[in-house]
Amino acid sequence: MTGVSRLCLVVSALLCVGAVVSYRRVARKMSSWRRATGTVIEIKSEERPDTDDDLQLMSASVVRFAVQGRADVTFQDPVWSTRAIHVVGQQVQVLYDPTSPSSATLAGWRSYVAPMSFALATVVLLLISLAES
């Protein structure tokens, strides 16, 4: 086993631990959050820099949902896209912290980006380690 192979193996083990810890944190956090149905009320568009620092028109959804016993909550999806993902009037699933509903997010895979990234990096480094040995 070469030095590069050993290094990749050690780093992939650390990344694997990071993936598990990150997943457990997200799962624990999301287990206390509530689900609601929201409505897309606006699609915001603005020019934002891309990876080459060129300006590109990007879109993000603005969503409103009801929380029992409180005023309706409106939030903007933090994920910007080169095309509109939703349309105004579309119903979407929302996850929100009951103690802070304004910190809502759209339900789905986005909350798990960090654990998925750690897991992907783990697999890549394991493959490199196998190729080097």
Proportion of the chain above pLDDT 70, given as a percent:
95
Contact 13, 125 (CB under 8 A): no
Amino acid 108: pLDDT: 73
Higher pLDDT, residue 39 or 8: 39
Please state the domain extents for the chain: 3-132
pLDDT of 21 above 80: yes
Burial 38-58 (b: 16+ CB within 10 A, else e): bbbeebeeeeeeeeeeeeeeb
Which uninterrupted H or E stretch holds 16?
A: helix 3-31
What is the pLDDT, as a whole number, of residue 3? 78
Q: What is the pLDDT of residues 25-76, one digit of tens each?
A: 877 777 788 999 999 999 999 888 877 888 888 899 999 999 988 889 999 9
Q: Are 89 and 50 in contact (CB under 8 A)?
A: no
pLDDT at 128 over 80: yes
Could you report the per-residue pLDDT of 43-56, keeping only the tens digit for each?
999 888 877 888 88
Distance CA 46, CA 91 (A): 23
- The confidence score (pLDDT) of residue 1 equals 67
What is this structure's pTM?
Answer: 0.68
CA distance 86 to 59: 10
